[in-house]
């Protein structure tokens, strides 16, 4: 038994010496081929396809531009506010960024992306204005989170209730900050086929939308294709 083990150890040592000598004789092209092969084997390819960790601190689905403008402190504050109101799932997903492309709006909330965008001009108006705008936009996300897939008005009673919970019960729909504004003429006019109300828009509507008033009156607030807005004029 001892002899067999000694022979096995000698064989491994000889193999290591042979491999080292063979590696020393390899050309640069051979080494490159070995490197490529080692890094493209099936196991390595599977590991490379594994998703990156997601959750707090990772910015789920975040692009490079978002990571550059992300505000971690405001994001942490937004998450704490949501946790206090029992919206833990939304708290884990919410993101906050500074968007230099914003001109007249103080902030914007995108529920699909769980993203709050703030105008960098807010920094010229103090911490209180930043906090208030953050809570205003957070109320939009919280209101939609609470109702699920049901359509709600942007500044309806659900949003107003969320504002009260976020300690901004007297919040106005629009800010009165002295941001430069530029009016653009409406180039597209959409009309509800049921109530005939018109909806002028500067840009073409790219997704399917319906008249909210008719959806509320005839379908409990859920989307109804009968009231889908139709383009009636294009300038």
Higher model confidence: residue 96 or residue 6? Answer: 96
pTM: 0.56
CA distance 89 to 145: 9
* 28-32, 62-66, 86-90, 179-183: least confidently modelled range: 28-32
For the chain, what is the mean pLDDT? 79
Number of residues that make up the chain: 235
Higher model confidence: residue 16 or residue 84? Answer: 84
First to last CA, the chain: 95
CA distance 58 to 132: 25
């Amino acid at each position: 038994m001892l002899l067999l083990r000694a022979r096995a150890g000698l064989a491994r040592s000889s193999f290591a010496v042979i491999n080292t000598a063979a590696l020393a004789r390899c050309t640069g092209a051979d080494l490159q081929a070995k490197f490529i092969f080692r890094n493209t084997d099936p196991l390595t390819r599977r590991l490379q396809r594994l998703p990156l960790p997601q959750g707090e601190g990772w910015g789920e689905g975040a692009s490079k531009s978002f990571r550059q403008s992300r505000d971690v402190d405001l994001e942490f504050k937004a998450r704490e506010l949501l946790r206090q109101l029992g919206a833990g799932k939304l708290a884990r997903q919410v993101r906050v960024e500074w968007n230099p492309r914003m001109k007249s709006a103080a902030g914007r909330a995108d529920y699909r992306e769980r993203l709050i965008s703030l105008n960098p001009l807010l920094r010229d108006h103090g911490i209180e204005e930043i906090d208030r705008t953050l809570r205003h936009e957070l109320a939009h996300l919280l209101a939609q989170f609470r109702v699920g897939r049901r359509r709600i008005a942007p500044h309806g009673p659900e949003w107003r209730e969320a504002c009260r919970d976020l300690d901004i019960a007297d919040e106005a729909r629009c800010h009165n900050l002295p941001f430069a504004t530029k009016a653009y003429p409406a180039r597209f006019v959409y009309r509800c086929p049921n109530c005939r109300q018109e909806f002028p828009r500067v840009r073409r509507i790219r997704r399917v939308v319906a008249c909210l008033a008719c959806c509320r009156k005839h379908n409990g607030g859920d989307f109804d294709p009968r009231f889908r807005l139709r383009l009636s004029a294009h300038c």
